[in-house]
A = this chain, B = another copy of it.
Amino acid sequence: MRGAVLHAPGDVRVEDREDPRILLPTDAVIRLSATCVCGSDLWPYRGVEAVTGPSPMGHEYVGVVQEVGSEVRNVKPGQFVVGSFFASDNTCPICRAGYQSSCVHREPVGGLGAQAEYLRVPLADGTLVATPETPSDDLLPDLLAASDVLGTGWFGAVAAQVGPGRTVAVVGDGAVGLLAVLAAKRFGAERIIAVSRHESRQKLAIHYGATDIVTERGDEGVARIRDLTGGLGAHSVIEAVGTQESMMQAIRSTRPGGHVGYVGVAHGVELPGEELFFSHVHLHGGPAPVRRFLPELIDLIYKREIDPGKVFDLTLPLEQAAEAYRAMDERRAVKVLLTP
């Protein structure tokens, strides 16, 4: 089959890879209907994360089950399924508490390479969620978004305890930040401040429910958010970048007793303990347990109550994965959908 492989920073190639097959009785193999490039794929692409040898890329996927192992009970060949970036058994105490992305048996899907024609999914019963029926093509981008960026933005809003009457700020205008705006709106936030300096992203943020746009970053951004919140800071702040600057902007934009939900994969972040102590914020986040939210998200998508697929502003054939990475790296595209 064909699949995208990162050979070195900036060097993504689509090449022949071995066809995935069932290795364990809990595996499934799916034929991908759509996949995409994640903001977190840009960390190794940019060389911020080390690249050690050729790495199959991609961890976002929707598709049709081709084959299942002998112990798989919950999904069967022919079903359309959505999964996420950690395979989980969905039965251990950590999964049952809603943290499937820290499942005691978790396996990262990233290493298996979902930017491809086929994908082996470990722990299929605990990882994949079948849709009610095979979706029409126009729902594919929405369902693919649920696989990661929607589930991650959603978790950010949950972690930041967004709710009715609350003022929410979202730091980061990538797909996750934009979908955190969507989630905050669904959760009844009264006011949603999006931090963005890109006009097309601002428009999408407003489409998803943002009531205010802040273009400043860092301490200036903090000052603007404080101005907008009576000097107190927001009740809830969602961090969707993962840098030192964005984390500190999120913490400093939150009022004492408020909640920071951070879902940008942290890179080189060091949190000053004393400032955090006196900030009085709640801090929660990490890799989103997307599996927790998938049944609800799929339901909302089928009812056409949410349209997360709008974050895909470019669609390319899988063979052009290299161009997809370039477009996202250069911020010409928010998120690129790849069709195998």
Taking CB atoms and an 8 Å cut-off, the chain A residues in 219-244 that contact chain B are 230-232, 242, 244
A284 adjacent to chain B (CB < 8 Å): yes
Task: Please give, as numbers and ranges, the residues of chain B lying within 8 Å of A255 by CB-CB distance.
Answer: 93-94, 97
- Known A94-B257, A97-B257, A256-B99: A265·B284 in contact at CB below 8 Å: no
Evaluate contact between B94 and A232: CB separation under 8 angstroms.
yes
Evaluate contact between A101 and B286: CB separation under 8 angstroms.
no
Task: Please give, as numbers and ranges, the residues of chain B lying within 8 Å of A284 by CB-CB distance.
Answer: 281-283
A267 adjacent to chain B (CB < 8 Å): yes
Q: Is the interface of A mostly helix, strand, loop or mixed?
A: mixed
Evaluate contact between B276 and A102: CB separation under 8 angstroms.
no
Q: Can you list, as one digit per residue, whether each of A169-185 has a CB less than 8 Å from chain B (1) or not (0)? A: 00000000000000000
- Docked Cα-Cα span, A287 to B242, in Å, equals 27
As for how many copies of this chain the complex holds, the number is 2
Task: Please give, as numbers and ranges, the residues of chain B lying within 8 Å of A93 by CB-CB distance.
Answer: 230, 232, 255
Evaluate contact between A257 and B287: CB separation under 8 angstroms.
no
Q: List 12 A-B contacts (CB under 8 A).
A: A99-B257, A99-B280, A102-B256, A104-B231, A256-B286, A265-B274, A267-B273, A269-B272, A269-B274, A277-B285, A281-B284, A283-B283
Closest Cβ neighbor of A259 among chain B residues: B284
A51 adjacent to chain B (CB < 8 Å): no
- Known A94-B256, A232-B93, A232-B104: A269·B278 in contact at CB below 8 Å: no
Evaluate contact between A266 and B271: CB separation under 8 angstroms.
no
A10 adjacent to chain B (CB < 8 Å): no
Known: A104-B232, A283-B283. 14 other contacts (CB 8 A): A102-B256, A244-B273, A256-B286, A265-B277, A266-B277, A267-B273, A267-B274, A269-B272, A269-B277, A276-B283, A277-B285, A277-B287, A278-B286, A283-B284
A61 adjacent to chain B (CB < 8 Å): no
